[in-house]
Amino acid sequence: MPKFLIHPADLQNRRKRCEPEVGRLRKLQRELVTSCNVCSSPRHVLVTDDDRYGLPFRSALCLDCGLLYLVDRFTFSGYSEFYGSGSYRTVSCQFNGVAHSLAHVQADQVSYGRILTRVLSGFVPRQRQGKLLDVGGSAGIITREVVKEFGLQGTVLDPATDEVAAARAAGLEAIVGSLEDWQTDQKFDLILLCRSIEHLFDLRFSLARIRSLLNPGGLFYVDIADFMEMCRMVGAPKTFAKADHCYWLTQSTALDIFRAVGFSLVSMNIVSGFGYVGFLLRPCEPVAAFASSTTRILDQVEEIQSLEREWTDFGATSQGPADWLHRKAYRVKRNMLRLLPARKKQSELLASAVPVVPAVPVPAIPNPSKAHNG
């Protein structure tokens, strides 16, 4: 059985497919990040010297709080073009060798939304006057699931005009905009940030903004793609680190980071997908105490080194037909589990309408916050 999902030879083939789009992406404006976004520490260890697409974007692990972040990345305007032009979807599809469409996004969201309602059950009260905000909510299918289950009034905030249009067509209030630039006086009882935290341009500012938008007693649900688990499943960091993920968190250091920006844990789960960890949080006073994280962070450095060696050794093995079939079967099984039960549910969701307040248009400013991606 193959040790990792991506063989070194496979990575090179994937990068070749990405070369046309990578050539265009190299022309976007870039910047250098010299300190951690959460704790401002300049102390870090580099864990990769390029990203999965072959862009020269290094990733670093903060030695004080454990945040993983891109040292090299696009500027804010560069990311605006990256998402607004469709390059984000294009290069991701080239890397994975698939053709994504809005229908694929919606089907994926249906499956995810059904899991999320079960995760939130018992914690989120059913109330007809409560408000829900789904940040980076894409086509709004997850919002619809949560609205239906808990009776909340749902709002989708997303920078992609086509996905916002789909959310509106499904009967939701949907706004083209980003967390950073959206102006509102509203307060919410539940805020979702699903499969999007890695895409934020300014992590600390965005989480502080979410905290300010919550009602007293409000809840915040966020999930992370655990960096260490991705290493264990996929391969060395260069097999999955990517230009559109400005940040990564890990299960062992995420809670300290959330406390530092003003959130305490209510519940966590490991049922929302391969390598994902979900956190249900409530606002608290920020507590920036990272001394206890040091040992865990150094342990992670050692494990990354060990996994890097194992992945390099894995590259010396033959990528024979059996290995290829195993990895192919794994991906097919994962997609079938995700998509097949979703299609029927998707049509049911889109067929039923929920009356909502008309959407308030906001200038369409593409932003790095982007949801539900591969």
Band of pLDDT at residue 181, cut at 50, 70 and 90? confident
For residues 270-277, give the mean pLDDT. 87
For residues 163-178, give the mean pLDDT. 89
For residues 223-243, give the mean pLDDT. 97
SS (H, E, C) the chain: CCCCCCCHHHHHHHHHHHHHHHHHHCCCCEEECCCCCCCCCCCEEEEECCCCCCCCCCEEEECCCCCEEECEEECHHHHHHHHHCCHHHHHHHHHHCCCCCHHHHHHHHHHHHHHHHHHHCCCCCCCCCCEEEEECCCCCHHHHHHHHHHCCEEEEEECCHHHHHHHHHCCCEEEECCCCCCCCCCCEEEEEECCCHHHCCCHHHHHHHHHHHEEEEEEEEEEEECHHHHHHHCCCHHHCCCCCCCEECCHHHHHHHHHHCCEEEEEEECCCCCCEEEEEEEECCCCCCCHHHHHHHHHHHHHHHHHHHHHHHHHCCCCCHHHHHHHHHHHHHHHHHHHHHHHHHHHHHHHCCCCCCCCCCCCCCCCCCCCCCC
Give the whole-angstrom CA distance, residue 83 versus residue 85.
6
User: In sequence order, which residues have a C-beta less than 8 Å from that of residue 90 and are 6 or more positions away?
Assistant: 21
For residues 178-200, give the mean pLDDT. 93
pTM for this prediction: 0.84
Average pLDDT, the chain: 85
- Do 231 and 56 meet the contact criterion of CB atoms below 8 Å apart? no
Q: Is the pLDDT of residue 132 over 50?
A: yes
The pLDDT assigned to 128 comes to 72
- pLDDT digits 0-9 by tens, 76-126: 999 988 987 889 889 999 999 988 666 666 677 788 899 999 999 999 988
Q: Is the pLDDT of residue 30 over 90?
A: yes
Across 100-104, 350-354, 366-370, the highest mean pLDDT is recorded for: 100-104
Q: Are strands 188-193 and 263-269 parallel, antiparallel or unpaired?
A: unpaired
- Domains of the chain (ranges plus CATH)? 8-16+101-351 (3.40.50.150)
Could you count the other beta carbons within 10 Å of the beta carbon of residue 25?
23
**Where is average pLDDT lowest: 97-106, 119-128, 160-169, 363-372?**
363-372
**Where is average pLDDT lowest: 27-36, 52-61, 144-153, 174-183?**
174-183
Distance between alpha carbon 148 and the CA centroid of its chain, in Å?
24
> Which residue in this structure is represented by tokens 């699903």?
194
Band of pLDDT at residue 177, cut at 50, 70 and 90? confident
Closest CA to 64 of 85, 81, 40, 82: 40
The pLDDT assigned to 270 comes to 93
Say what percent of the chain tops pLDDT 70. 82
- Do 63 and 243 meet the contact criterion of CB atoms below 8 Å apart? no
The pLDDT assigned to 292 comes to 63
For residues 11-34, give the mean pLDDT. 97
Q: Is the pLDDT of residue 343 over 50?
A: no
Rg of the Cα atoms in the chain: 20
The pLDDT assigned to 139 comes to 86
